[in-house]
Amino acid sequence: MRFPYLFVSILTFVLFSCNQEKGTKPVIKDIKELIFASGELKWKDSYNIIAQTDGTLSDMKFEVGTTLNSGAVIAKIDNPTNINNTQSAAALLAIANENLSSNAPAIQQVEANIQFLENKYQQDKLQAERYTRLFQTQSISKVEFENSQLTFSNTLSQLNAAKNQKQLLLQQAKQQQISSKTQVLNSEVNQAYNQVIVPQAGTVIKKMKNTGDFVRKGDIIAVIADAKRIEAVLNVDENSIDKVKVGQRVFVKLNTNKDKVYNATISEIEAAFDESTQSFICKVLFDETLNNSLYGTQLEANILVGEKKNALLIPRLNVGFGNKVNVKGKKEYVSITPGIVSTEYVEVLAGIGKEDIILPLKK
């Protein structure tokens, strides 16, 4: 009963041995070298809408896919502190402006003092001149003369001091006005941050916050981009990156539709190694518009890094370590110079000819 199985085993061994001995000849075919890379869809020149103040989000007027114009107010951040600061700064500015006017109490007081001292100065001046003449005729004593001169000098000093005091008051009031104006402008800027404004037209591709959420300054509310400028961001292994060049063709399949292959081109290769993905980042632009594509869609890509027409090829499985091949009629393995390597074939640049017979590698 065991003979039929034995016969089949012997027949299989003989056929396999014959095929091993027969081998295969190199073929002349076109070859392409492709490098595999994974990645995801992103939008070129995307930017984040960031909260510029703390508060609670309200009046949100967008969803993912909403097209927004530049300057559009898409949400509000309730922060009463900014409003209160603006009102307080405006009130302080009004007081500073009043302090610079002629009706300011401090200015009126010092001007009244100046006027009094002006009058007293004129009287003391006349008195000093009269006492000078009297002293010259020896009609008064030297003490009386000197007292008149001292009174006149003191009044002049008081008048100059009052005038300097007025200038100082005006200078201080001007400084306070400048400071208050700056405070008003800063408060108005901070109050403007209560409105979330779109700086550049685009489409919402990612919504990070919702109405009622409390946000802090610096939180991302949404991601905006030009939905027509989609790019693929690829993670390329460090062992393959030296073969990748800007302008090379790329064939992309999205995980959402693996039946369709999109043609694209390498547009940028980032110089720095990305630690988070342990790979180099390459950016790819598509030849055609991608409709209804979602931000972050995962994808697979093959980068065409080399191709040749009518190349001399042998099966990749027949090439061993050190680019050695088993050639029929040769006692030792033969070294070849490889060219383009695909998943199935290896291009042979030198070492064997198209008439050589390649045998499987010995085990």
Residue 184 has pLDDT above 60, yes or no: yes
Can you give the pLDDT at residue 84?
Answer: 87
Residues in Cβ contact with 232 at an 8 Å cutoff, skipping those fewer than 6 apart = 39, 40, 41, 42, 250, 252, 264, 283, 284, 286, 299, 301
**Amino acid present at 23:** G
- Dist CA 212 CA 264 (whole Å): 42
> Is the pLDDT reported for residue 343 higher than 90?
no
Q: What is the DSSP string of 66-107?
A: -EE-TT-EEEEEE-HHHHHHHHHHHHHHHHHHHHHSTT-HHH
| Domain boundary assignment for the chain | 23-33+308-359, 36-45+226-307, 47-78+194-223, 81-192
Residue holding tokens 């099966």?
Answer: 315
Task: Identify the pLDDT of residue 132.
Answer: 92
Structure tokens at 32: 């392409």
- Whether 54 has a pLDDT exceeding 90, the answer reads yes
Domains 23-33+308-359 and 47-78+194-223 share a fold: no
pLDDT at residue 292, rounded to an integer: 67
Nearest C-alpha neighbor of 212 from the set 79, 80, 59, 49: 59
Choose which CATH entry (1.20.120, 2.40.50, 2.60.40, 2.40.420) describes domain 23-33+308-359.
2.40.420
What are the tens digits of pLDDT across the range 75-122?
Answer: 999 988 888 888 888 888 888 888 888 788 888 888 899 999 999 999
Residues 6+ apart with CB under 8 A from 11: none
Which fold does the domain 36-45+226-307 belong to in CATH? Elongation Factor Tu (Ef-tu); domain 3 (2.40.30)
pTM over 0.75: no
Q: Where residue 16 falls among pLDDT bands split at 50, 70, 90?
A: very low
Q: Which residues contact 294 (CB under 8 A, 6 or more apart)?
A: 41, 256
Angle formed at CA 114 by CA 113 and CA 119, multiple of 5 degrees: 100
Alpha-carbon gap, residue 176 to 152, rounded angstroms: 36
CATH classification number, 47-78+194-223, choose in 1.10.1470.10, 3.30.420.40, 1.10.630.10, 2.40.50.100: 2.40.50.100
